[in-house]
Structure 1
Amino acid sequence: MIKRYCSVLLVSFFLLIQAGLLSAGALDDAVRRGVLKVGTTPNYVPFEMLDKQGLIVGFEIDLLRAMSRALGVELELVAVPYTELLPGLTAKKFDLIGSGMTVTQERNLKLNFSDSFIVVGQTVLLHPRLAGTVSSIEDLDEAGYRIAVIEGTTGEAAARRFVGAAQLISLSSPEEGVRQVVQGEADAFIHDAPYNLIAMSRPQNSALLTLEQPFTFEPLAFGVKKGDYDSLNWINHFLNQIAQDGTYDSLHDKWFTDTAWLAEIE
């Protein structure tokens, strides 16, 4: 009886260990591996983008580097198209998503979001021919207008909601969206405010007009697999810590106040 009882305890012990390993969070896996793998789409200035050496840099990337240092691991960035971020997370190709992803109810059904690390909104870039004609997002809600958007983004969703009567042109990169407006192939481009603000500062885009006031409210956050609450708890505490110790403000100033980094970007 004693031997049988001990055997049951031993089996139960190993089953508990196995269950614990199976339910371990993505950050626990990263610590064991020594590498934090993050899925990102490096075309969202100034959050994640390629510099002239082909390295992925940006505000969110610096947050992720600070996160990996706090975990005591290396950071590995896995570059994928934006539409492949959610499937990649589900397939465990990376531990979390760090790619300027807006928290939406629809996305929240497929993954869990951390606390927001910044709030942005959608703005509009206009071709100069619309000067005096378009002064608000509502003015673009007509069948004759061609509006460039980026496929799979909240900019595309916002365009469908606010200017559904217009013809939408779904593209794969914001650079292409701006180019189409500059060359007159599209009347307007809808995208996140930080990107559009920086795009307007480039000489080749200086003739464009802008509706500067964002017409949506969009918190950006990191995404993890559904149910990975241990990782969420750690990330949220990390965000709170860097907000308190000045790290966040320093990085925010680097990318949103100082513009020296523009010279290093393609």
Structure 2
Amino acid sequence: MKSFSIFKRGALSLCACAVTLATLTVTAHAEDLLAKVKHDGVLTIGTEMQFAPFDFLQNGQHEGFNKDFFNEVGKELGVKVKFLDLPWPSVLPGLEAGKFELVGGPVTITKARMARYAFTLPIADATTALLKRADDKSINKPQDIAGKPVGGGKGSAQLAQLQAYVAHLPGKADIREYIDNNQAYADLAAGRIDAVGNSLPNLAYVAKQRPKVFAVVLPTFGAKTYFGFVGRKDADSRALIDAVDKIIIEMDKDGRMAALQKKWFGLAMDMPQTMPAINF
């Protein structure tokens, strides 16, 4: 009996050690990417520098909301932030291939994307609006684009909203897809198209920079949508997403987020503190 008890205690001890080791392994695995970023001292963000006011080049220098926001993230995490400027169609594939930790962009939060990627909490309103030429008196509300040529970003959620919207208008609009939003704005200014559909923050910034050329058409239309930053949907990335979410909440509470929104969008936006129900 004594030897059996010793054997039993030894077996239980080995089981307990195995469970403890397994728990530590799972915990370490869940924190791998955040731990790696802190160990390396660098958080790398993949984005496209053609998406003002979030990321854009001014006199060859990176500017925008994302630069300011991730500077705050870098301070909180104690790391440097590195941005990679890529063509937008290669950004999400680059994330999946592990070339960087997060996507800047930002990206419109949709059901389909949430099934494939991990999103941070919303950082801005992504609801679709229209931009027109400032001297165009024929477009005063979204319905007025019926029968007109309109531009939208290829593969964007705003393009999908625009397509769904014009499908119910009389004299359906001729929608032209652009990989580069700046090219869409250039075609609008030149009269080759009559409006551009994009998120309200993007268009408000463009109109603010060139008020004699462009004007925003309100109200917005389509589903209420939000922008967030994107990580890989795996256990390694969860701790990093959670850390960024915590910083977003802190910035909402202490006013830093509102200050950045006013600086880059011209207005502060009341963002949800938890992930909202996404119906699009």
Equivalent positions of 1:185-224 (< 5 A) are 185-203=192-210, 206-216=212-222, 217-224=224-231
TM-score, normalization: structure 1?
Answer: 0.81
Deviation per residue, 1:83-137 (Å, 9 max, x gap)? 22221111111111121211111111110111112223221123478523x3332
Contiguous gaps of at least 5 residues in structure 1 = 259-266
111, 118, 123: which is aligned to 2:124?
Answer: 118
Question: Identity rate of aligned residues, in percent?
Answer: 19
> 1:104 is matched with which residue?
110
For residues 12 and 208 of structure 1, do their structure 2 counterparts lie closer, same or farther at Cα, with a shift above 3 Å needed?
A: closer
Deviation per residue, 1:171-195 (Å, 9 max, x gap)? 1222111111111111221112222
| 1:236 matched to 2:236 | no
The amino acid of 1:247's aligned partner reads R
> 1:149 is matched with which residue?
152
Equivalent positions of 1:127-166 (< 5 A) are 127=133, 131-132=137-138, 134-142=139-147, 145-164=148-167, 165-166=172-173
Q: How many residues align?
A: 253
TM-score, normalization: structure 2?
Answer: 0.78
For residues 4 and 85 of structure 1, do their structure 2 counterparts lie closer, same or farther at Cα, with a shift above 3 Å needed?
A: same
Deviation per residue, 1:114-164 (Å, 9 max, x gap)? 1112223221123478523x333233243xx21111112122111211124
Q: What is the rounded CA distance, in whole Å, between the counterparts of 2:194 and 2:265 in structure 1?
A: 28
Deviation per residue, 1:207-262 (Å, 9 max, x gap)? 4454132224221111111133322322221111122223223323333449xxxx
Equivalent positions of 1:1-266 (< 5 A) are 21-52=28-59, 54-127=60-133, 131-132=137-138, 134-142=139-147, 145-164=148-167, 165-203=172-210, 206-216=212-222, 217-227=224-234, 228-257=237-266
The amino acid of 1:154's aligned partner reads A
For residues 218 and 12 of structure 1, do their structure 2 counterparts lie closer, same or farther at Cα, with a shift above 3 Å needed?
A: closer
Task: Please state which structure has a larger fraction of its residues in strand.
Answer: 2
The amino acid of 2:58's aligned partner reads D
Q: What is the rounded CA distance, in whole Å, between the counterparts of 1:250 and 1:225 in structure 2?
A: 29
The amino acid of 2:191's aligned partner reads G
SS in 2 for 1:223: strand
RMSD: 2.9
Contiguous gaps of at least 5 residues in structure 2 = 1-7, 268-280
Q: What is the rounded CA distance, in whole Å, between the counterparts of 2:134 and 2:254 in structure 1?
A: 45
Maintained 8 Å contact 1:27/1:36: no
